[in-house]
């Protein structure tokens, strides 16, 4: 049997989502689908592993094993990656005709209990009552339809390549993100942004990569993909992550397993209040690479999730007093963040989690670049006894002090401003912070500012960074102001991204072909029927027989209308995919040429990226707002004064002509005045 293609698997999996969508009474239906898929995968792979071991044993011994020998062999611990206890296999659920939800929950909970690595993965209760208590949240008929749908595809390695299964799982997560809209930001970061961060940090073999708010695990997966691209094995990096939401943790854990990554993911607790990766001395564990997209501006970051009631928040704020949050893990070394925003709490956790030579890539709201003020002295308008003006002093704000501390430590390597609305549910302007604890001497007293907000593709519900936009950012970052490097980087990224566009084009076209395959098959079948009808008409012996066959032919032609219309829709979509791909390929070339020209013109380059000395940043009171250092002003379109004057002359001539015509009308003999008699209507 031929193995399934990625597009075939994706289409079938998304078909399951369509069965369940809108039937979970507001529950998060993605977790139902993804864990059900994983249960089917575990069962199919368990069977495949058993078959492989038995076949190998029989081949080695030349003796066919009986049932008792097979059972004894399969009890060996090395046969299966995961244990499936009795009555917990997919086949056991499939055999149930009554309450399938109860059997499904029992089976998945049993598997979780039997496998330490799967604790917390199967969080869905398929037997949960509906809110009114009259039925199940998901009716038995729907659960049955889902089980039958998944039963239609085998998911073992014999039928699906592991990497295809992993990519299809990621495709599902992306589809769920598109479907969830604003809520998707809790578990999904756009892959274009992740790609930029990973390529800025460049994880290397032997290192550890950590995501303290890992969502569905996309940043860890991209780290593995980067390593593979560089010619290494993905297991040459150790992966760590923490995710507070149990449902999202389950998705991340499954994601790691399907991609074959031995990742350590912790779930159910906040990274800020309960970091799960700790050293023996009580401090947080440290990693080579830390990458994160944390929840923006969390106003109750210092409370555990189960304590975040309105009353508890008020009480906790009073209890903190003037000293503020007390961190038992000694992470807030640059200052205590305000209770109203957890941005700098997350950033300082990330810094504390980086090793001595660690590198960090963080998605942040742009407010962290400029919120807070230094100590201020101003005159009150009053005078002391000596006639000197009285001075009022205001202490520096907490966020200013933290930002200044980071700058004084020389760890801010780059600030990259992103376009608006490229994240799900985050309308605030965002940026990327690249931090390095040990920077080269020639970069130690500089910060690179990149203004990348101008260029993006506008979609219906959000904006998206295109390949050429990614190239702009990466060339600026890796060149770090060096024109000679920029030229080589353009060639490097242009070649890679051309390949990315071509691969994506092929995948999108293949996906559309699979999606519309039923209509292709219908047209093929009906065209055979049409040919048979024509042949029959040609052989008809009399008018009655011919009329009958003509009617049959007309019916076939009528049946062809819908599938042909659908195929026309498909062809339009394919044409659009190819058009966008061609535009992107051309744009990559054009932008590459623009970048080379930019680095030959420092003034023009300063409108896109600029390397800024620490002395200038200090003069700006440690305010890192990008427009202070990069010329983000968009010049107005130049005006051709002579052309405008000609247009005004033409308008004036038209006005004068209209005025002359109007005067003629008023001065003529038929002009009506108050004495003109009115004619009856």
Would you tell me how many other CB atoms lie within 10 Å of the CB of residue 393? 8
Q: What is the pLDDT of residue 276?
A: 96
Quote the pLDDT of residue 467.
96
The Cα–Cα gap between 260 and 240 comes to 14
Smallest CA-to-CA distance from 69 within 85, 58, 80, 81 is with 58
What tokens were used for 224?
A: 């593995």
Characterize 199-232 residue by residue with b for buried, 16 or more Cβ atoms within 10 angstroms of its Cβ, and e for exposed: bbbebeeebbbbbbbbbbbbbbbbbbbbbeeeeb
DSSP H or E stretch at residue 639: none
d(CA 474, CA 195): 10
Using alpha carbons only, give the angle 529, 532, 536 rounded to the nearest 5 degrees.
Answer: 140
CATH of domain 187-374+394-465: 3.40.50.150
| pLDDT score of 379 | 66
Q: Domain 1-160, CATH 1.20.1260.30 — does that match?
A: yes
Q: Classify strands 412-417 and 446-451 as parallel, antiparallel or unpaired.
A: parallel
How many other C-beta atoms are found inside a 10 Å radius of the C-beta of residue 484?
Answer: 9
- What pLDDT is attached to residue 62? 80
DSSP structure string for 420-458: TT-BTTB-S-EEEEEEESS--TTTTTEEEEEE--S--EE
Q: What residues contact 409, with CB distance under 8 A and at least 6 apart?
A: 334, 437
Separation between Cα atoms, residue 368 and residue 370, nearest integer Å? 6
Return the DSSP state at 368: G
| Number of neighbours of residue 558 by Cβ within 10 angstroms | 10
Tell me the Cα Rg of the chain: 33
Q: How far apart are CA 188 and CA 222, in angstroms?
A: 13
SS (HEC) of 386-402: CCCEEEEEECCCHHHHH
Please give the structure tokens belonging to residue 20.
């369940």
Distance CA 317, CA 249 (A): 29
430-436/354-365 β-pairing: antiparallel
Pairing of strands 463-464, 389-394: unpaired
Give the pTM: 0.86
3-state secondary structure of 622: coil
SS3 238: strand
**Token pair for residue 179?**
């479907």
Predicted local confidence at residue 588, as pLDDT: 96
CA dist., res. 466 & res. 552, Å (int): 51
Concatenate the DSSP letters of all residues of 456-468 into one string.
-EE-SSSEE--HH
Do the Cβ atoms of 238 and 208 come closer than 8 Å?
yes
CA 98/CA 147 separation, integer angstroms: 13
Q: Is 255 in contact with 173 (CB distance < 8 Å)?
A: yes
Q: Is 482 in a helix, a strand, or coil?
A: coil
Task: Round to whole Å and give the CA distance between 283 and 24.
Answer: 42
Which residue ranges make up each domain of the chain? 1-160, 187-374+394-465, 497-628
Question: What confidence tens digit (pLDDT) does each residue in 373-414 have?
Answer: 888 776 666 777 777 776 777 788 999 999 999 999 999 999
Listed residue (497, 457, 454) closest to 475, CA to CA: 497
Give the β-pairing of 238-243 and 208-211. Answer: parallel
Q: Which residues of the chain have pLDDT under 50?
A: 671-681
Check residue 425 and give its pLDDT: 66
CA atoms within 13 A of residue 171's CA, in its CB half-sphere:
21
């Amino acid at each position: 049997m031929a193995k399934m293609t990625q597009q075939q698997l994706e289409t079938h999996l998304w078909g399951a989502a369509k069965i369940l969508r809108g039937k979970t009474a507001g529950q998060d239906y993605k977790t139902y689908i993804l864990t059900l898929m994983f249960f089917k995968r575990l069962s199919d792979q368990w069977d495949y592993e058993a078959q492989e071991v038995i076949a190998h044993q029989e081949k080695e011994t030349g003796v066919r094993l009986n049932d008792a020998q097979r059972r004894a062999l399969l009890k060996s611990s090395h046969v299966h990656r995961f244990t499936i206890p009795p009555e917990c296999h997919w086949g056991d659920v499939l055999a149930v005709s009554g309450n399938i939800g109860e059997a499904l929950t029992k089976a998945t909970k049993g598997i979780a209990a039997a496998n330490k690595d799967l604790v917390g993965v199967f969080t869905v209760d398929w037997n949960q009552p509906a809110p009114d208590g009259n039925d199940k949240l998901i009716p038995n008929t729907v659960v049955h339809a889902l089980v039958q749908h998944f039963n239609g595809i085998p998911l073992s390695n014999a039928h699906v390549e592991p990497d295809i299964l992993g990519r299809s799982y990621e495709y599902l997560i992306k589809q769920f993100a598109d479907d969830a809209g604003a809520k998707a930001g809790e578990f999904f970061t756009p892959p274009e942004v992740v790609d930029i961060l990973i390529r800025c940090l460049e994880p290397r073999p032997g290192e550890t990569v950590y995501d303290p708010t890992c969502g569905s695990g996309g940043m860890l997966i991209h780290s593995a993909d980067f390593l593979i691209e560089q010619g290494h094995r993905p297991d040459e990096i150790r992966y760590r992550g923490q995710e507070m939401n149990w449902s999202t943790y389950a998705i991340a854990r499954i994601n790691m397993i399907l991609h074959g990554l031995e990742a350590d993911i912790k779930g159910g607790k906040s990274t800020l209040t309960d970091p799960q990766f700790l050293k023996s001395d009580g401090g947080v564990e440290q990693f080579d690479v830390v990458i994160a997209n944390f929840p923006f501006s969390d106003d109750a970051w210092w409370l555990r999730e189960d304590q975040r009631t309105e009353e508890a928040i008020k009480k906790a704020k009073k209890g903190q007093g003037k000293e503020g949050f007390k961190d038992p893990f000694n992470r807030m070394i640059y200052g205590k963040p305000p209770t109203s925003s957890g941005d700098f709490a997350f950033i300082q956790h990330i810094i504390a989690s980086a090793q001595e030579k660690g590198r960090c890539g963080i998605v942040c709201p742009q407010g962290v670049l400029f919120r807070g003020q230094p100590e201020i002295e101003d005159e009150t308008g009053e005078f002391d006894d000596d006639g000197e003006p009285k001075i009022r002093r205001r202490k520096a704000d907490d966020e200013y002090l933290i930002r200044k501390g980071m700058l004084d430590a020389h760890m801010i390597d780059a600030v990259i401003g992103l376009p608006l609305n490229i994240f799900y549910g985050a309308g605030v302007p965002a940026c990327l912070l690249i931090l390095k604890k040990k920077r080269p001497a020639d970069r130690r007293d500089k910060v690179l500012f990149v203004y990348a907000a101008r260029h993006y593709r506008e979609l219906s519900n959000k904006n998206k960074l295109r390949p050429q936009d990614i190239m702009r950012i990466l060339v600026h970052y890796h060149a770090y102001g060096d024109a000679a490097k920029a030229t080589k980087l353009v060639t490097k990224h242009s070649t890679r991204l051309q390949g990315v566009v071509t691969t994506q084009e092929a995948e999108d076209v293949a996906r559309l072909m699979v999606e519309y395959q039923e209509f292709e098959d219908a047209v093929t079948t009906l065209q055979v029927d049409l040919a048979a009808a024509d042949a029959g008409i040609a052989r008809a012996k009399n008018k009655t027989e011919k009329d009958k066959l003509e009617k049959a032919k007309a019916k076939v032609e009528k049946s062809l209308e819908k599938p042909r219309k659908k195929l026309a829709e498909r062809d339009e979509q394919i044409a659009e995919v190819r058009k966008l791909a061609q535009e992107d390929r051309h744009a990559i070339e054009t932008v590459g040429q623009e970048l080379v020209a930019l680095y030959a013109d420092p003034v023009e380059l300063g409108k896109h990226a600029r390397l800024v000395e620490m002395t200038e940043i200090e003069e700006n009171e440690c305010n890192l707002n990008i427009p202070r250092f990069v010329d983000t002003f968009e010049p107005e379109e130049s005006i051709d004064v002579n052309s405008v004057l000609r247009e005004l002359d033409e308008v004036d001539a038209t006005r004068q002509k209209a005025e002359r015509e109007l005067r003629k009308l008023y001065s003529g003999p038929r002009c009506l005045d108050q004495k003109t008699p009115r004619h009856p209507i």
